[in-house]
Amino acid sequence: MKKHIAYVLMSGFLALAGTGCSEHDILIYEDDAPAVYFEMLAADGISLRDSLVFSFPVTEEPTHQLDLRVRIIGFAADHDRTIGVGVNAGESTAVAGTHYELPTQVTLPAGAYETTVPVTIRREGLQDREVRLVVALQPNADFVLGFTRGHEAILRWGDKYIKPDNWDSTVYRTCFGDFTEKKYGIILAVCGIEELPSPSDISTLGYYNRKVREYLSENPQYEEDGTPITIPVYNGGSGGLG
């Protein structure tokens, strides 16, 4: 008999750079075999996303490791099991061995319900451009694939400040105005962060808004064409959280 497992995602943020997830999204898994799926958390540690963005200018290191969280549907076992990992080549522009390193499988230890897939990404050759990698879980003797939404994880990175896909569709734009690469770099540097908090984290975004406005008032900054960099006054609100 097939198992019918439903998960209701009470999340307004699906990705720092991903598609939206409504408040009533439901994930359904129908099978009786152990399964695996990606479950990546947003910056707030609660909301879900299915993509990650990393801007190398936030660090001086030539490489960076992104850990993709993988969970199982089913019970833990009394022995180690393996999870197959591959790439959706048709949807990726990153080149293996040049832009990234990725294992073909990871071990799920005995008694465990989750593990991570480490992806080492490189900045070399990516000045002022970005690449995309779609990591895809692979079925094997130990696991089938779980929720359809969790079959793949999308990664984007480059040696530039990369615009989050949901900037214009969420409160980010209300809080910080039109996106420019230089403005985004200032926001991250002034706030001491590598990524923005979830759009649902209104209080933190409000704090960052005030912090960046104060910085710009004391240290005027300009775009390459001489346009002053400004951000609007942000008073919070609940519109466009997802």
Within 8 A by CB and 6+ apart from 125, the residues are 98, 99
Last residue within a domain, chosen from 140, 158, 176: 158
Residue 216 DSSP SS3: helix
**197 shares a domain with 91:** no
Give all strands (DSSP E) within 48-205, no chain letters. Answer: 48-49, 51-55, 63-73, 81-87, 100-101, 105-108, 114-122, 130-138, 144-145, 152-158
Q: Are residues 38 and 144 in the same domain?
A: yes
Domain co-membership, 33 together with 124: yes
What is residue 219's predicted lDDT score, i.e. its pLDDT?
A: 97
Say if residue 20 is in the same domain as residue 86.
yes
- pLDDT category at 44 given cuts 50, 70, 90 is low
pLDDT interval class at 241 (50, 70, 90): very low
Reported as type and span, the H/E element at residue 31 is: strand 25-31
On average, the pLDDT of the chain sits at: 85
- In terms of domains, do 150 and 88 share one? yes
Residues 143-153, mean pLDDT to the nearest whole number: 92
User: What pLDDT, on the 0 to 100 scale, is given for residue 90?
Assistant: 96
The answer on pLDDT for 175 being more than 70 is yes
pLDDT of residue 165: 84
Q: Which helix (H) or strand (E) holds 36?
A: strand 35-38
149 plus 192 within the same structural domain: no
User: In the predicted model, is pLDDT for residue 12 greater than 80?
Assistant: no
Reply yes or no on whether the pLDDT at 20 is more than 60: no
Total domains present in the chain:
2
User: Residue 31 has what pLDDT?
Assistant: 58
What pTM value is reported for the model? 0.80
Range of the domain at 124: 3-158
Lowest mean pLDDT among 50-59, 115-124, 173-182: 50-59
pLDDT computed for residue 25 by the predictor = 42
